[in-house]
Structure formats: structure tokens, C-alpha cells
Amino acid sequence: MYVVPDNIKEIARDLRKKQTKAEKLLWERIKNKKLWVRFLRQRPVCIITDLNWISRFSIPDFYCKELGLIIEVDWCIHNIPEILGLDKVKEGLLKQRWLHVMRIENEAIYSDIEKAVDMIRWCIKII
């Protein structure tokens, strides 16, 4: 068990208040156990503790603790090489904690949200 520092909690609160349009659309489809499991929005997850016991945190877009499933909604900024590199490092750290990371692009949500939700359903079934 880990304690989430107040500054990380505040960042998570701000992210919940400032959801993107795609995140809002997807949240409406997955909240309240609509996919049989509970998802949380922007919930801090401890990803690594280094040798001097300093916890590091990630704040995924959506997190299902029960399955260890994280859903990240990506937009065009995630195609910038520096951001893409940071995403890959973060994803690697999350996988070290035995968490599953699913990435969905904004455009997939806008163009066919049913297909995006079906991909999540499929992911839930195989975990």
C-alpha cells in the first residue's frame, strides 16, 4: 500500500475537471460498471519506488484496479517523438507492476465509439 502525496491528489483532481472531449465521451460509456467492472478516472497509481524509497506516480486516464487495466486516451501530442518516448517509458514501468495498458486514439473514439468500447470489452475478457 502506498500513500498518495497531496500534490499528486490535486493534479488528479484537476485532470478530472479538465477532461478532454474524447475522455468525456468514453467515460460516459464505461462509468458505473457499464462494462461489468469499475473504472476510475485519473486515479494516481504508484509505478516505481527507487532505492531510496521515493514513490513515483502515474495518473492514467482510466484505471480498473480489479483487472489491473489502464486505458490511455491519446491525442495528436502523443505523436511527438519526445512525448511518445515518455509514454513508452511510463508504459514499461506500469507493466513492471503487472498492469495492462490499452491505448485508444481520440479519433477512434470520435469516429466509432462503439468499436472503441468493443475493444475495451474484448480486453476485459482476455485479462
pLDDT per residue over 14-44, tens digit each? 999 999 999 999 999 999 999 999 999 999 9
CATH of the domain at 62: 3.40.960.10
Q: What is the pLDDT of residues 53-76, one digit of tens each?
A: 677 899 999 999 999 999 999 876
Q: Which domain holds residue 11?
A: 6-126
For residue 47, being part of any structural domain is answered with yes
Number of domains in the chain: 1
Confidence band for 4, pLDDT divided at 50, 70 and 90 = very high
Q: What is the mean pLDDT of the chain?
A: 90
Confidence (pTM) = 0.90
Q: What is the Cα–Cα distance from 121 to 6, expressed in whole angstroms?
A: 33
Residue 1 lies in a domain: no
